[in-house]
Amino acid sequence: MIRKFIPFIAVLSILATSCTNTNKESDKKNTKTKDTLSEEVNSVELKNLNELLKSDPNNSHLYYKRGKVYLGFKDFDAAIEDANRALKIDSLTTDSFYILLTDASFIPGKTRQAKEALERCIKNIPTSTKAYLKLAEMYFYVKKYQESINNINNALKIEPTNALGYFLKGMCYKESGDTALAISSMQTACEQDDKYYDAYVELGIILAAKRSALCIEYFNNALRVRPNSTEVIYFVGKFYQDTKRIPQAIDAYNKLLSIDKKNKNTLYNLGFINYAFLKDVEKAKGYFTQAIDADAEYAEAYLARGICFEDLKNYADAEADYKMAVQNRTNYEPAIERLNNLLDKKKGK
């Protein structure tokens, strides 16, 4: 589960040449194209950059800065144009222009161009760890894990302490099914960066799946970085629930609800705990009702509450909830079975 990968980028035809005095006028014309975005968002920064570019049209960093502004406003075509302008002036000094081009191209789905931009960056700036790692991410997304690892290794040869590289390698191993190497790589990522939230979370998830109590240590490290992370608190509660440590599970879920009182999955799980472990059907029903209040299309919660109603011999409400479960999820077999059994009971009376 990679949460926040930086997007990628594409390139048109980039020339590694500098502008001369003879083409300054044509570049000035390029900067004078109608700036509708500026009019829409009234961006002071954008207007200032436009003014600076009128007097300094060969400044690659100004095009880069303006491209970043366009990217922030989701004007991807304009961002691509400015990245290409920056690269036409200077394609050999910095990888930042290529990264901008990658981001502006990848987000709207121009993945082929994004890949080409990264490959060109590596050719022109072979020490760019960012380009290698972004290319690795692209291969990861299309499940070409060995190609991804090859690019990660190239990045780590240049920068052996790069935490992201080890994290990405861990993700490749995890998706390939080699959890031992995944754990080792994630641990190395945490050694390089002791505030690496995503690495701590992934380690916790992997170990929780193995029912290893060591997962709590990694989840706690993640919470040290982000104390109010509801996803991590949920993982803690779910681990305790799955390992039948019910008081600890309830504590974790109540902590989560103090942050997000309408967290539907937490409310559902508390309902399940009260029904299956504590045998308190009324309290379970109350939690399932809260889960439905949080999400009116929560099919599992309708089914669970219907079971509670049926146990309490409130057959009319049970039938209504089973029907709502079926309505909100097509071919929901458990709800269909419960509903049919209940209707058969009614016929037999």
Reported as a single tens digit per residue, the pLDDT across 216-236 is 999 999 999 999 999 999 999
State the pLDDT at residue 65: 97
Q: What is the mean pLDDT of residues 126-153?
A: 97
Q: Does residue 264 surpass a pLDDT of 60?
A: yes
The domain covering 231-349 belongs, at the CATH homologous superfamily level, to Tetratricopeptide repeat domain (1.25.40.10)
Q: Does residue 214 surpass a pLDDT of 70?
A: yes
Say how far apart CA 34 and CA 179 lie, in whole Å.
54
Q: What is the mean pLDDT of residues 190-203?
A: 98
* Band (43; pLDDT cuts 50, 70, 90): confident
Say how far apart CA 237 and CA 253 lie, in whole Å.
6
State the pLDDT at residue 40: 52
Say how far apart CA 63 and CA 124 lie, in whole Å.
20
> Is the domain 1-125 a CATH 1.25.40.10 member?
yes
State the pLDDT at residue 346: 83
The boundaries of every CATH 1.25.40.10 domain in the chain are: 1-125, 231-349
* Band (349; pLDDT cuts 50, 70, 90): low
State the pLDDT at residue 8: 28
Q: What is the mean pLDDT of residues 328-338?
A: 97
Q: Are 209 and 197 in contact (CB under 8 A)?
A: no
Q: Is 258 exposed, middle or buried, given 0-12, 13-18 or 19+ CB atoms closer than 10 A?
A: exposed
Average pLDDT, the chain: 89
Q: Does residue 12 surpass a pLDDT of 50?
A: no
* Band (22; pLDDT cuts 50, 70, 90): very low
State the pLDDT at residue 195: 98
Q: Does residue 3 surpass a pLDDT of 90?
A: no
Q: What is the mean pLDDT of residues 279-304?
A: 98
State the pLDDT at residue 34: 42
Helix (H, G, I), strand (E, B) or coil at 56: coil
Q: Are 328 and 298 in contact (CB under 8 A)?
A: yes
Q: Does residue 38 surpass a pLDDT of 60?
A: no
